[in-house]
Structure 1
């Protein structure tokens, strides 16, 4: 039995476990957006009797979060990863926030979507929706997303998953309609199963290695396969994160739930929730368990191919535009999985490029479809017609987003598809390259069908049988009649469309950033060095 530690010895050990001196201002950049999101959400909850005040408080906070994430990305690009330890604890004892290029770029893209959706909510969320907490939930969700992208601890990644779930449950049932409750039940059950599996695997990981700090795990997992069940851990993490990301065959919950809430809520979910799952797979399995990722690469590639193709086919089969976009989200996750399966700098760089592009694009697509429903009075293709004649400029923006989602030039979706194709052919995975091409082709047909029927077709060409078959004709997502588009709501659509066009015409900067970020994941020496400076462990 070990001898008891004296008070003096314990005090000395405690002093050695703390960081001497304070952190610089830049070290707070990973933490401040989280504090703003959670703190702002708490403030708005205390203002629940005054919902008219919520946008005036929430929108400046969302704008400040986006600015801080931009400053963080610039700082990380210039000086490498940065780490801040909560409570001045030395790693790996305390809670770590570590920002590298991957985490900072995801956090910035997410914050731009949060700001855009906050502005769109001015038009899409009525007084009742504000009273029931849209803006508090939005701020909490953005704080949790920032925490998930920037945490340096696997257990706290699980914690941010849970906070995301709590806020998403609240947003999913705004309005309390029967369809929303049904969608929320399916969403909740599958996501709770995924988070439970995640937590069990985290406990397993801690039991084996005695730490959950990512930098510490990157060191301890190196060469540990001979003495620890690392492949089992990697498989369990992959299953949990693929459920979160809605990858085949655990993707059926997404098209059953994403069409039920308000359009702005669907936009947030499509942009953030599945991407947090994909990001977690990249962070944990790719960075911490590279040898095991290699062993799982064939399985991941098969899942990627099935997810891409079946997602595109599902979109082609839909007549409800909201359900159609749910399948486009699924197909996009397959593209990210393909890059993860290919591995190496080229494959991972393409996966990161596509994920960042998809965060902005999917939010913009949902918002523009919300405006299409407002303009045409329905989300059903059987009832929509003549949108081009009613609003030519709006139709042009829609066409840009449709082309980007199809992976066609000259927009941002084209470049990661080209990078994925080249990477797949370079390793001889011709069948995966064929799946990438097939999914893009089917997605093009599905979205071309939407444009031809909803935008280009004349209103007089709708048959009476189609009009009579449309149970939702003339109604929005919660049953109210809607007839005209909102100019104010087009502001956030344009905010998200401009990067899609810019990075399509000038992709060099984003390609360079994602390739550098991929190199940092493959060789996490700089990440580890930011947590353990000068080899202090």
Structure 2
């Protein structure tokens, strides 16, 4: 049963390899991808249930026990993120059938898609800091291909910047890991926590902590390291954008969450204060961008940056309530961002543009699309009882309890401005004088987006039922000894 940890990584890996040999047969590529991704979702559901019932699960590869071998670790945080990733991947996969185009499909789109899921799920599951780097690289190499696949001018231009930033980030990652290994003599994250506690976090460990913040901040798009994101994410087609917006930055945020609660939690006065300050500036910059633009893609892209700031601010406060809020908000944002990018893709498909001032009155022809977008906007902004409300309230309440009045107020006020930015799309794009559009069938595009919106609504209104799962996820972040004992078998 412990091998269940491997399935969300192994299934997409085997699928990606098989799809390479299927080659140009689009029908079989689609069929195999769907069957495989459904299998990954089912394996992830069983994994969440198993971890909930029996606690943290570990798998020592090659029979080398931790900390000497490579260890996979699935606690509740990891399991929930793997499940969310798999569900989003399934929705985006169905959406891709109508939107990605046969030319991209023939050039191994579905194989690269599955490799990306391998990287994301692997990053969430690994218990080894170097293998976190390895899974990052699998994820990033897949994203390079997905970003450039199709070869349009904007894709080629933005891919140069995206690759350059990530190459630098990867080099810094290796340097940071090398420094950490030179001080502690281990790469296993549970063992690292023990060793860092033994050396009482001297200055070099604080330097390494800041280096890791730079590395993961680049990948997660924290201020001032977010500069690459708006242009790079604007370039690819809608399903790729949904994958990127929902998953890639969240792996960076997860890495900050894991390292700053498991490794660098002994002296929080300096490292976490910097993280908190940068998080608040990130929220402000993201809100300004979301309000300033009249391009529907750019508005939602800048809202990614806002969410990253909110989550990392919760990590910086470092209380049980704030960490639970960050976990809750992290998963909420993955689901709602994926659905919003799918909806924005449908709007662009209907109108032929992303420019908000060039279309209006869509609700007359597509009322269901309009009201679905309205619900997504409310959820994104954190209007009760939708899913964004719970996480933000927990984070803000923890901030107030710790005397972080300004930070907590910025988190709360950001909700109003985020609501304004997305309601701008609803008011100007769906209301107003209807313009003449060719009536297009959107059923197969609309279904995956509606599925994610329903999931988001359920996530918000069933908070009492799912709260034990998130409390269990937060417990490991609050008390690292739970994780350490499970991995090192102490």
Q: Same fold (TM over 0.5)?
A: yes
Asked if the contact 1:349–1:517 (Cα under 8 Å) also holds between the matched residues in 2, the reply is yes
Structure 2 residue aligned with 1:428: 403
Kindly indicate whether residue 442 of structure 2 is the aligned counterpart of residue 486 of structure 1. yes
In the TM superposition, 1:76-475 aligns within 5 A as 76-225=51-200, 229-459=204-434
Structure 2 residue aligned with 1:14: none
Kindly indicate whether residue 480 of structure 2 is the aligned counterpart of residue 524 of structure 1. yes
Structure 1 residue aligned with 2:22: 47
**What is the rounded CA distance, in whole Å, between the counterparts of 1:497 and 1:524 in structure 2?**
34
Q: Deviations over 1:179-202 (max 9, x none)?
A: 011111121111221121111101
**What is the rounded CA distance, in whole Å, between the counterparts of 1:44 and 1:286 in structure 2?**
39
Q: How far off its partner does 1:386 sit?
A: 1.2
**What is the rounded CA distance, in whole Å, between the counterparts of 1:46 and 1:153 in structure 2?**
32
> Aligned with 1:258: secondary structure?
helix
Structure 2 residue aligned with 1:515: 471
When the two structures are aligned, how many residues end up with a matched partner? 490
Normalised to the residue count of structure 2, the TM-score between the two structures is: 0.97
Q: How far off its partner does 1:357 sit?
A: 0.4
Q: How far off its partner does 1:115 sit?
A: 0.7
Asked if the contact 1:312–1:327 (Cα under 8 Å) also holds between the matched residues in 2, the reply is yes
Q: Larger deviation: 78-87 or 368-377?
A: 368-377
Structure 1 residue aligned with 2:3: 28
**What is the rounded CA distance, in whole Å, between the counterparts of 1:428 and 1:226 in structure 2?**
26
Asked if the contact 1:425–1:433 (Cα under 8 Å) also holds between the matched residues in 2, the reply is yes
> Aligned with 1:379: secondary structure?
coil
> Aligned with 2:114: secondary structure?
helix
Asked if the contact 2:299–2:422 (Cα under 8 Å) also holds between the matched residues in 1, the reply is no
Tell me, which stretches of 5 or more residues in structure 1 are unaligned? Answer: 1-25, 463-473, 475-481
Greater gyration radius: 1
> Aligned with 1:147: secondary structure?
helix
**What is the rounded CA distance, in whole Å, between the counterparts of 2:81 and 2:266 in structure 1?**
25
Q: How far off its partner does 1:532 sit?
A: 2.3
Q: Deviations over 1:504-530 (max 9, x none)?
A: 222123433223211212212232222
> Deviating runs (4+, > 4 A) in structure 1?
none
Q: Deviations over 1:219-274 (max 9, x none)?
A: 11114235572111111111111111001111010001111101000000001100
Normalised to the residue count of structure 1, the TM-score between the two structures is: 0.89
**What is the rounded CA distance, in whole Å, between the counterparts of 1:125 and 1:226 in structure 2?**
49
**What is the rounded CA distance, in whole Å, between the counterparts of 1:525 and 1:381 in structure 2?**
51
